[in-house]
Amino acid sequence: MNSRPQLSLVIPAHNEEQNIQACLDELVTTLITEAGLDVELIVVADGCTDRTEELVSERKRSVSAIRLIRHSAPCGFGRAIRCGLNYAEGDVVVIYMADLSDRPQDVLNYYRLIVNEEYDCVFGSRFIKGGSVHNYPRFKLIVNRFVNTAIRVMFWTRFNDLTNAFKAYRREVIQSCGPYRSCHFNITLEMSLSALIAGYRIKQCPIHWEGRTWGSTNLKLREMGRRYLCTLMMLFFQRMLIADDVRQERDRTGASGEENFLADDSDSSPTL
């Protein structure tokens, strides 16, 4: 009998004291209370200096599905996700933002597409019919559309929102495509493009996104440019030159390597 949770959400959180409790409450209501799923909510407190950890611990006392992982320096969005992935035990893993920009109902849709329609990954898009974007700064929106268009051309793909972190993966996809190396927001490209190159079955579906109303994003465009470029070029040449090796490795490993993926359940981060 499979004792794993059906669904794991990895939620990186850096100083999200104004958002984190509402984020967790929405997820618990939609996924556990209403949908009845066996879910684990893994909050990775990424070098927090506010009350984020305290507030997660408070919710954790009443909701057993919540897990708090304390991730210390060096911090970074990608490092926090990598840390959370080490603890994720679910058959389906979703990267979810702590700032209330994503919607729990979209998580449920992701899960159903993977389980019921047998996709390996689901990539949400804010820019297809049925999707929506609210309170996105105009300059960042222009940069986003330019970068995603360039990625579509480079990788000959129809997916048009690959820089968005909010995606779902079967457990074996993460095992096969990892370990990941990106330390910051470029991990969103490393995860999604690695799955694309490996030939996994991917579904794109509309999602709804709301710009944060409290706090400030940690994405600094100038600093991230070189990181995105490095990740893009690395994966572009992987696709052009050794995609056949990548797919053979996927077929060879399958769902193996699990013992190298899981970490002990504790409130301190593993060694990465």
Domains and CATH numbers, the chain: 7-256 (3.90.550.10)
Residues shown for the chain: 272
Q: Does the pLDDT value for residue 171 go beyond 60? A: yes
Percent above pLDDT 90 for the chain: 77
pLDDT computed for residue 217 by the predictor? 54
Is 164:153 a contact under the CB 8 Å cutoff? no
pLDDT computed for residue 214 by the predictor? 55
Average pLDDT over residues 197-201: 96
Q: Does the pLDDT value for residue 271 go beyond 60? A: no
pLDDT computed for residue 226 by the predictor? 87
Helix (H, G, I), strand (E, B) or coil at 3: coil
What is the rounded average pLDDT for all residues in the chain? Answer: 89
Taking the CB of residue 205, how many other CB atoms lie within 10 A of it?
17
**What is the Cβ-side half-sphere exposure of residue 266, based on CA atoms within 13 angstroms?**
7
pLDDT computed for residue 97 by the predictor? 97
Q: Residue 205 and residue 193: Cα distance in Å, rounded?
A: 17
pLDDT digits (tens, 9 = 90+) for 100-131: 999 999 999 999 999 999 999 999 999 999 99
Helix (H), strand (E) counts: the chain: 8, 9
Average pLDDT over residues 198-227: 80
Q: Residue 168 and residue 203: Cα distance in Å, rounded?
A: 10
Q: Residue 225 and residue 198: Cα distance in Å, rounded?
A: 25
